[in-house]
Copies of this chain bind each other. A is one copy, B any other.
Amino acid sequence: MVSESTGSTRSRIQAVALELFTEQGYEKTSLREIAERLGVTKAALYYHFKSKEEIVNSVVEDRLARLDAIIERAHTRPDDAAGRHAIIAEYADEFFQHGPSAMRFFEQNQTAFKHLSGGQQMRERLFAMIGLLSRGTDSPADQLRAALALFSIHSSLFAVRGPELSNEERKRVALEVAHELLDTIDGKPPAGTD
């Protein structure tokens, strides 16, 4: 209702939409609600985006681009513990910098995302990450370790109940646990783990 005219209308729509979609879910959030929060009419949303789905896609788009960059660099890294550490570290940096909101958005809307083009691309990227973290092994256990290493980053936000943990601390903890998981991959644990 109040229009704190920060930024162009287009990006204000994206911000409010991201927030509401995350809180209440994509389906449950109506365009009326978004418009009201911004103090504009529904028709204004349609001036900037041609459908509800397009709002989602536009929000997802730049996270997708950043993920793609990470994935590209990951391909060039050595297929060993050190390489995997580097990959997950980059992912954690991205996640804690721009990410929590976008990722929570994604996790909170899994079913909706199944049928949204932006969502499907997100899925693909995550599976690509997992694949890259478990390159060179076919072991099911290793694949699972790679997946959990990734989830370690995501989960650190809500699974760790420590009341007043900074994001920096959460990231450190998340990486610590992720490293343990990644180091077990391939049956070649680094020397000093025992």
Contact = CB atoms under 8 A, between A and B. Distances in A.
Copies of this protein, total: 4
A117 interface: no
Given A28-B111, A107-B110, A148-B159, 7 more contacts: A27-B28, A138-B162, A146-B159, A147-B155, A147-B159, A148-B152, A181-B181
A86 interface: no
Interface stretch (A6-14, A52-60, A63-71, A170-178): A170-178
Interface residues of A, number: 45
A179 B121 CA distance: 33
Majority secondary structure of chain A interface residues (helix, strand, loop or mixed)? helix
A181 B180 CA distance: 9
A177 B28 contact: no
Interface stretch (A73-81, A94-102, A186-194): A186-194
Contact of A109 (B22, B111, B162): B111
Interface string A121-161: 00000000010000000101101111110011001100111
A28 to B, nearest CB: 5
A25 interface: yes
A140 B166 CA distance: 12
A184 B192 contact: no
A63 to B, nearest CB: 19
A114 to B, nearest CB: 8
Nearest to A162: B140
A141 B148 CA distance: 14
A120 interface: no
A44 interface: no
Given A143-B160, A144-B160, A190-B193, A28 B112 contact: yes
